[in-house]
Each structure stands twice: as structure tokens, then as C-alpha cells.
Chains A and B, each alone.
Chain A
Amino acid sequence: MLAAEPKSCGISVRHGKASCGAHGGQGDLPPAIWDKVKTHPCYSVEAHHHYARMHVAVAPACNMQCNYCNRKYDCANESRPGVTSEKLTPEQAAKKVLAVASRIPQMTVLGIAGPGDPLANPDKTFRTFELVAKAAPDIKLCLSTNGLALPDHVDAIARLNIEHVTITINMLDPEIGAQIYPWIFYNHKRYSGVEAAKILTSRQLSGLEMLSARGILCKVNSVMIPGINERHLVEVNKAVKSRGAFLHNIMPLIAAPEHGTMFGLKGRRVPRTSELKALQDACEGEMNMMRHCRQCRADAVGLLGEDRSAEFTKEKIVTMTVNYDSEARKANQAGIEAERRARIMPRQEDVGEHAGGTSDIKVLIAVATKGAGLVNEHFGHAKEFQVYEVSQSGAKFVDHRRVGHYCQGGHGAPDDLAAIIRSINDCHAVFVARIGGRPRGELHKAGIEPVDQYAHEFIETSAIAWFSSYLKKVKSGEIQHVDRGDGAIRQDPMMSVA
């Protein structure tokens, strides 16, 4: 069945684009939809500054093989989907959720995302959701699937009030699919090649339509694989939009030989930051794009940019006392909401006014932040930089860059500083709460301006104030505007620093 008109879960469509709240706040989202996304860090870029999520690894089995995936159970230092340190039973998972919820009150979402496919382990997945719904009804439930088994479980998903479902869709063209999926297991048979890809696409799209028809918010994840599907993803974007997807998340391929994936072993190239952004920009005219995905592990805990899973291992949860206080959680979240309301979003006119005249200049800036939408992290302590695109239309979150842990007990590691600079090499400036003398000098040498004058201020307002003065300097001839190169997407294992 082809859905001709965008349904977008009842979202009004203007200018050919569903006006969803992935960027910024409520905007013109209907209240019912806003209510579902406003505290979900993956569905709202604004929420991801404030709210945390957790995954529980109860679903180890999978019904297919992807060339970018290798499921391991023993690696604490890698951060990518499919990786987890330990498997949990539904009962252990429910206890873990309560333990985290009572210690991290801003944790609002429980997702099941593997390490296999949640719907290839339906009993464990749904049992976990049932237990959590009973004990902690305020936690939103969410799952992420490859879609192969999805049509069989839509009724169960609706019955359990799972409000958010992510489907990974990498292709519609079976010839492309055959290069991504070596095999699927469907209806008691193993299929491969074009035949497998055809079955998969048909199951994914009908699953998406069934969920949209029931008003369940759907996000589509796509892995950008250079040389295989990068141009094709524009078609995928149109197809999922027309079937009611709320949000599209195009993620870069992660592939290093040490990950042991087929693409990693074969040395497949990963996207450059400019290629990824160009593809996301090309699709943004069609629908809202998620750009804040951290491609997290199947047992991640915390804000999207952090991973606190090491604090909540199976061993530690057993001894933890759980004091699930829904009133305290409510009070904490009310505080966060008050903070969000106080955050003044700068208006477009502010940039024009300050700069005087119009300009086509667009620059990227990197921001060291611990969350809450503030410039509040020391350069040397940052585990990632958030990247904003600033122009006269305002400041917009467009990307993030993972970095190694550069500052270790006051001792800087020279190689890491160079790697950090490579990862934000496409940025004109880096905003920090504080920065040491050596990194300051190295950044200047690399042509990136270190900016610490907006410490603990709001990111967007600071970015616009800096950009206005940048434009003035360009206009007066004090500095010359030059384009920057590409940034590097880090592939090496990250230490999860608790």
C-alpha cells in the first residue's frame, strides 16, 4: 500500500515539510505530539541538552546480519550500536531501570535497542516493558528495530503504550540492499542477496505504515555508507516521509578494522563531516533531520553525550537499594522545565541588527558543553564538542564530535590535542568555559579561534553575539573570511569515563 499524502502522525505539513520539533522547542507542533517528544532526548534536539535515556541489553538475538554490525559482549571501551558489556534478563533490566531512575531523575526514556534486534527477542523485550510500566509508569518506552519482524508486533507495541519506535532503513533498492545485508532469517528460512533485501524493504515499509496509522511516533535511522547508499538515501528520505515518519536520522558509517565488522575489515571508507552534512541538508527540505544522534551502545545510560553505564553494572545493581520516588522525579523535572522556559532563544533579527547589512557567510563553531544548553565545559575536559552552524538566520545545532580525553590529571597528551583539532578542523571557533595556554596557542595556529568570553552563558545567544562581531570585523577589513577544511569523524575506541 502506498500512502500518497504525508500523514506524519497528524502533524500539519507546511511548505512541504512536517513542522516537527526536532530543532528548537515546541514551535508549531500540536500539543499531543509535543507532549510525547518534549522530554525525549532522541526526538527533540532541545530536550537532549536536559534529559537522559537508558538502554537495557535484554535482546541479544538477531534475525539478520548487517555488514556494519558486529555484536560483542565484552568491550567497555567501544561506543557504537550493537555493543554491550553484559546481557540482562527482563527482571535484572527492570531493577536496573529503577536504580537509574532513582539516581538520575532526568532519565525519562527507556529504550531497547539490542544488542541484537528487540523484535527477534519479543518475549524478553515485551516482558521488560511490562515490568517497567508497572513499577515506573512515568518512564517513556521506546524501541529500535531493523523492521524485519515489525509487522508481527505492531499490536503488542500499541498495547504496551510504546510511544516511540525507530526503524533502521538503509535502502529501497534491493541491489543496494544486497551490498549491505549478507542474509536475513525470515519465515524459518535464510534468504540472501536481492531476494533478502526485497523482503526486508517490504516488511520495513509496511511496519512503518502500520505504526503511523496507530499514531506511534516513528524515527527512521539510516547509515550513510559511502560508495553504496549515499545518493540513494535521498530517495529513502522521501519514501519514509510519505509513510508518516516523524524524524530522519542519517548517521555516518562507523568502520574500523578492530571493530571486526565486514565493512571495517574490508576497509570501507567512512563519510567526511562535510559529506554527511550535505546529505542531511539535502534531506532537510523534505522533513526534520536528527543530527544529535551519538550512535550509542545497547547499554548506554545518561545524557546522549555521556555514558554512565559503568556505574550501573549487573554486579553493582544487585547491591543497590532502589528508592523509586515519583514525586521527587516530578519535582526535578519541573525544575528542568522552568530552566528551559528561562532560556531565551535569540531571534533572527538580532543577528541582522547587530551586524548591519546582509551576508551569506555561514560558519561552524564547536562548543564545549556539559549540557543544559550552556557553554559550561573546560576545553581539556570535553568528551565531545557540539557543532552549531551560525549565519544571519541564527544558530542551529548541526553536529557533534567525539574527542579523546585530553586532560588526564593535569597532564596533557600532545597527540590527543592534535586529534581534537582535527576533529573540529571545519570550525572557525571553539567556545569553552576555560582553556589552557598550550591548547589556546595550538588552536590559533590551526586557525580556530578559542572563545572563552561566554563561559556559562547560553550557547545560541553567545554564538550569535560572537558571529555579529565576526561579521563586523570582516566588513571593516580587520579580518578576512576564509572557508575551513573538513573535520574528522573519530573511529578509535573511546574510554567511557564515568
Chain B
Amino acid sequence: MAYKIVASQCTACGACEFECPNGAVNLKRDVYVIDPKTCTECEGHFGTPQCAAVCPVPNTCVPA
């Protein structure tokens, strides 16, 4: 139960990093990566996964 970022489409704007309630999104080299161990799909925090809701590129932040 986690989200992932499609690296080839990510613009590295960092909006998801700022919104993640678990600190699961981190910049690794020039790409943002979601740590599947820490990601909870925002359950218990918000109604929808925040990273996917704020991502500006369609189909780039998706269920893993």
C-alpha cells in the first residue's frame, strides 16, 4: 500500500515532498522517490493521497 513516482515524467517541482504527512517523499539525486515503507497513502491523515492530488503531471504519481 504505497504510491510511486514515474521518474521519466517527474518535473522535480517538489510539491509532493511538501505535502506528504509522513515525510516519505525524498529527492534522490535529481528525482523524487517515495519510500514504500513510510507511505500510508495518507490514511489517517487525509481523504486522498496528497502527493497524487498536488502532482502537476497526469499519471505520474500513481499507486505502486
Contact = CB atoms under 8 A, between A and B. Distances in A.
Interface of A: 60-63, 65, 71-73, 87, 116, 120-121, 185, 188-190
22 contacts: A60-B11, A60-B13, A60-B14, A60-B15, A61-B13, A61-B15, A62-B15, A62-B56, A63-B15, A65-B56, A71-B13, A120-B18, A185-B15, A185-B19, A185-B53, A185-B54, A188-B46, A188-B50, A189-B46, A189-B53, A190-B53, A190-B54
Contacts of B14: 60-61, 121
A121 B12 CA distance: 13
Interface in B25-62: 46-48, 50, 53-54, 56
B56 A189 contact: no
B61 to A, nearest CB: 12
A116 B11 CA distance: 11
Contacts of A73: 11-12
Given A71-B56, A190-B53, A60 B12 contact: yes
A121 B18 contact: yes
Contacts of B54: 61, 63, 185, 190
A189 B11 CA distance: 21
A189 B48 contact: yes
A315 B48 CA distance: 40
A189 B52 CA distance: 10
Contacts, number: 46
A61 B53 contact: no
B48 A62 contact: no
Contacts of A63: 15, 54
A contacts with B: majority SS? loop
Contacts of A188: 19, 46-48, 50, 53
Interface of chain B, main secondary structure:
loop
A188 B19 CA distance: 8
Contacts of A189: 46-48, 53
Contacts of B18: 61, 120-121
A384 to B, nearest CB: 30
A71 B56 CA distance: 9
A189 B19 CA distance: 11
Given A61-B14, A121-B14, A189-B53, 9 more contacts: A60-B12, A60-B15, A61-B13, A65-B56, A73-B11, A120-B18, A188-B19, A188-B48, A188-B50
Nearest to A64: B56
B11 A71 contact: yes
A193 to B, nearest CB: 15
A61 B50 CA distance: 14
Contacts of B46: 188-189
Query: 10 shortest A-B CB distances, which residue pairs?
Result: A61-B15, A60-B13, A190-B53, A61-B13, A185-B54, A188-B46, A61-B14, A60-B14, A116-B13, A185-B53
Contacts of B53: 185, 188-190
A72 B48 CA distance: 27
Nearest to A72: B11
Contacts of B56: 62, 65, 71
Nearest to A185: B54
A61 B48 CA distance: 19
Contacts of A190: 48, 53-54
Contacts of B11: 60, 71-73
B15 A120 contact: yes
Contacts of A72: 11
B25 to A, nearest CB: 12
B48 A116 contact: no
Given A71-B56, A121-B18, A62 B13 contact: yes
Nearest to A115: B13
Interface string B5-25: 000000111110011000000
From B18, B46, B56, residue with most partner A Cβ within 10 Å: B56
Contacts of B13: 60-62, 71, 116
A60 B15 CA distance: 8
B23 to A, nearest CB: 14
A116 B18 CA distance: 13
Contacts of A60: 11-15
Contacts of B50: 188
In the complex, which of the residues B14, B19, B46 has the most CB atoms of chain A within 10 Å of its own CB atom? B14
